[in-house]
């Protein structure tokens, strides 16, 4: 079984400030990990993913995330927030080799950016 916890349903930052969105997971097998972004009334799109190799993953729009196995975490960061980053962010985990073919999504974190 696998699960995802996103700490904080809303995160508020000022423009130019650091963005940190937290994601912790549980998985019985080494996971694939994903961050998706959703703008209002749109579908989700991939920001970045970790499958294997380097644990620091860089994505689109200046976001990056680090896979920390010991902490079972995959937190999303961006050094400087922009107004256009305001959106809903979802962390997802897929159990490698589990054969379920079903990723598990967190409940999402709404990022609010103040001018």
Partner 1 sequence: DGGITQSPKYLFRKEGQNVTLSCEQNLNHDAMYWYRQDPGQGLRLIYYSQIVNDFQKGDIAEGYSVSREKKESFPLTVTSAQKNPTAFYLCASSALLAEGATDTQYFGPGTRLTVL
Cα separation, 77 vs 13, in Å, equals: 12
Pull the structure tokens for residue 107.
Answer: 């409940």
Distance of CA 1 to the CA centre of its chain: 19
Q: Which of 3, 8, 9, 28 binds partner 1 (CB under 8 A)?
A: 9
Cα separation, 16 vs 85, in Å, equals: 11
Residue 61 has phi, psi (to 5 degrees) of 60, 25
Q: Is 103 in the site for partner 1 (CB under 8 A)?
A: yes
Q: Which DSSP letter does residue 115 get?
A: -
Q: Is 28 in the site for partner 1 (CB under 8 A)?
A: no
Nearest approach in angstroms of CB 76 to partner 1 is 16
Q: Which of 43, 53, 83, 115 binds partner 1 (CB under 8 A)?
A: 43
For partner 1 (CB under 8 A), the number of binding residues is 26
Q: Which of 3, 45, 80, 84 binds partner 1 (CB under 8 A)?
A: 45
Residue 72 has phi, psi (to 5 degrees) of 45, 50
Contact residues: partner 1, CB under 8 A: 9, 32, 34, 36, 41-46, 49, 90, 92, 94-99, 101-103, 105-108
């Amino acid at each position: 079984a696998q699960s995802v916890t996103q700490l904080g349903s809303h995160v508020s930052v000022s423009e130019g400030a650091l963005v940190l969105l937290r994601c912790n997971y549980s998985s019985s097998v080494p996971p694939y990990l994903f961050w998706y972004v959703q703008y209002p009334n749109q579908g989700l799109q991939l920001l970045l993913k970790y499958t294997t190799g380097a644990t620091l993953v860089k994505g689109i729009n200046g976001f990056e995330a680090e896979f920390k196995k010991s902490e079972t975490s995959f937190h999303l960061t961006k050094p400087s927030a922009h107004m256009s980053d305001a959106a809903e962010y979802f962390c997802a985990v897929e159990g490698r080799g589990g054969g379920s073919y079903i990723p598990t999504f967190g409940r999402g974190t709404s990022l609010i950016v103040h001018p």
